[in-house]
Amino acid sequence: MRMPDQGPYDAIVVGGGHNGLVCATYLARAGKKVLLLERRSALGGACATEPFPGLPEARQTTASYVLAIMPKRIVGELDLFAHGLTLHERDPNAFTPLRDGRYLMRWNDADKTRAEIAKFSTRDAENYPAFEASLSRLAPFMREMMFMTPPDPFRLRDMPKMLKLGRKMLKLGEDGVRAMADLFTMSEYDYVTRFVRSEPLVGTICSDGIIGTCGGPRSAGTAYVLLHHDIGDLGDMPGRWFYVEGGMGAVGSAIGAAARASGVTVLTDAEAKRVIVEKGRVVGVEALVEGVAMRFSSRVVASGADFHRTFALLDKDDRPEGVDEHLERYDTRSPTWKTNMVIWNTPERHLKWACDYKGPMPPGTIHLPLENADVIERAYDDFKYGRLSTEPILEICCPTTVDRTLAPPQYHVLSILGQYAPFDTPREILQERTLEVMDKYCNIREVLVTADTHSPKDIEARFGLTGGNIFQGAMPLNQLFFMRPTLGMARYRTPVRGFWMCGSSCHPGGGVTGIPGYNAAREILKGW
């Protein structure tokens, strides 16, 4: 191993997930000398593309699955397309097969989608645009809000920020303010059924609001998760989701290339073990670099790890008073597992649907078993009482419909998010339960080549996400904005001088956005 420069650095970023990379890159672009430490051998954190065990010629996006809400601002400013990021649009964007032979397809073209909805309800076909408009009218405000540093309501100097935010909200008008309040507090089922009522449309929409959430469609607050997943601006129309060529690991690779081009020193296989504090101020980091203990000096340390793991980097005597109580209250429960599959895709042997759809494999998300929203609620009821869902909810993506870099032509790769599972459910049981659900809709066992399943416990161990939570913490109202991760620490700074947070435990929360890293870098530079 070539001995790395041990500093002093202006800033050390702990964690090479997408937010840590974004934070490090913006700090370096501002002229700072920056070191980034990543404990794994590849950058990107949970945005990882890895070979299937036993079939290395096929690759899986291990944990994450699509790029939906990373903003144009970050992609453009970091020139990620020039650094290798390639996106593939999905059209149709959603497919819901039914056991009675019918199916619902949602397209990027509004007229085609309305024609599909009309198969189930002409009234809903007429009203569906109003539902989409109710989200899209709030999207610009929400995107602006995501780039804000949350004001602290207990700091007098932040009162002007609170007033400014209030004025911006008032510009939405009475209807807009009411819709915003509803989306932050209501269940998604109650919100959606204001506009449309037919199944499987309601269930299909509601499935997007329970991703990574310990709640059902009738749980208060799930309407916000629905909005959170619908505010992306990467496409020509808001809310489009994309496959990344080469899998989601290519996101980390592209931001990593931008970081290096900006002058960041990037060390992989470098696990931060301790943030060193002297006289109440950060002075550096102790790390194992390829197994060798090293000490790096810096006046600033920013952690892209989650709330729990960030403060685990501090010695007990250096931890702020009361932080253990905040950590205990911070909700990191997750019901979500990930199953990735390779299936045959030849003229003689390919996936066939039991419904009336006989076309090619749809590129959009395949929703099972969404006969109606009650199916989701019953699946959540099992989890609520500590059981694996008898009939779990699956969101199935097939990136090889548009990205042939992930597998040879005779194969398709499936990327499946499943809900709801208790934390320590064995992966073998999760995989079998996934197949049981798919059996009811297609010939999955006839075409299955191999599968790899990651339980919430596996996700925690592999990617350092406490509780296996893909958002670095749940996203109910009491863990959003100036309450994320907790009151008094929402401005990315911790009570320890020079110690910052830049991961998804901070505002605006989870999803592959890079915004927490962007905001944290801005705040660090303000106080330089």
Give the count of beta carbons closer than 10 Å to the beta carbon of residue 283: 17
pLDDT at residue 235, rounded to an integer:
79
* Phi/psi at 26 (5° precision): -65, -35
Q: Predicted confidence band at 1 (pLDDT cuts at 50, 70, 90)?
A: low
- HSE on the CB side for 105, CA within 13 Å? 20
Q: Specify the pairing of strand 94-97 against strand 365-368.
A: parallel
Asked, for residue 124, whether it belongs to a domain, the answer is: yes
Same domain, residue pair 279 and 336: no
What are 382-429's pLDDT values in tens digits?
A: 999 999 999 999 999 999 999 999 999 999 999 999 999 999 999 999
The model's pLDDT over 88-102, given as tens digits with 9 standing for 90+, comes to: 999 999 999 999 999
Mean per-residue pLDDT, 351-355: 97
Asked, for residue 49, whether it belongs to a domain, the answer is no
Q: Has residue 85 been placed in a domain?
A: no
In a shared domain, residues 284 and 388: no
Token couple for 399: 């990136």
Domain that residue 190 falls in: 94-239
**pLDDT value at position 318?**
95
61 within a domain of the structure (yes/no): no
Report yes or no on 443 lying in a domain. Answer: yes
Domain for residue 211, yes or no? yes
- Write down the mean pLDDT value for the chain: 94
Across 510-524, average pLDDT: 96
Residues 390, 485 share a domain: no
Residues facing residue 286 across a β-bridge: 274, 295
What was the pLDDT predicted at 508? 95
DSSP annotation of 517 reads H
The least confident of 161-165, 213-217, 499-503 is 161-165
- Closest to 361 in 3D by CA, of 408, 397, 406: 397
Q: What is the pLDDT of residues 427-453, one digit of tens each?
A: 999 999 999 999 999 999 999 999 999
Closest CA to 50 of 272, 338, 303: 338
Look at residue 60 and tell me if it is in a domain: no
Instruction: Note whether 130 and 222 are same-domain residues.
Output: yes
Q: What's residue 179's pLDDT? A: 87
- Is the pLDDT reported for residue 229 higher than 80? no
Domain boundary among 239, 258, 282: 239
Q: Is residue 125 located within the same domain as residue 177?
A: yes
If we measure between CA atoms, which residue out of 304, 308, 334, 288 comes closest to residue 459?
A: 334
Q: CATH no. for residue 489?
A: 3.50.50.60
The per-residue pLDDT for 49 is 97
Return d(Cα 311, Cα 182) in angstroms, integer. Answer: 34
Mean pLDDT of 323-330: 95
Q: For 243-261, how does the pLDDT look when each residue is reduced to its tens digit (9 = 90+)?
A: 999 999 999 999 999 999 9
Task: Please determine, for residue 231, whether its predicted confidence score (pLDDT) is greater than 90.
Answer: no
Averaged pLDDT, 465-488: 93
Task: Let me know whether 309 and 347 are in one domain.
Answer: no
The answer to whether 182 and 191 have CB atoms below 8 angstroms apart is yes
Q: Is pLDDT at 145 greater than 70 in this prediction?
A: yes
- Whether residues 141 and 174 share a domain: the answer is yes
User: What's the token pair of residue 309?
Assistant: 């793991």
Q: Tell me, yes or no, whether 395 and 441 share the same domain.
A: yes
Q: Is residue 498 part of a domain?
A: yes
**Are 450 and 343 contained in the same domain?**
yes
Amino acid identity at 77: E
Angle between helices 110-118 and 122-136 (to 10 degrees): 140
Nearest Cα to Cα of residue 136 among 181, 90, 92, 172:
172
Co-location of 337 and 325 in the same domain: no
Angle 188-474-364 from CA coordinates, rounded to 5°: 55
Judged against a pLDDT cut of 90, whether residue 125 lies above it is answered with yes
- On whether both 313 and 433 belong to a single domain, the answer is no
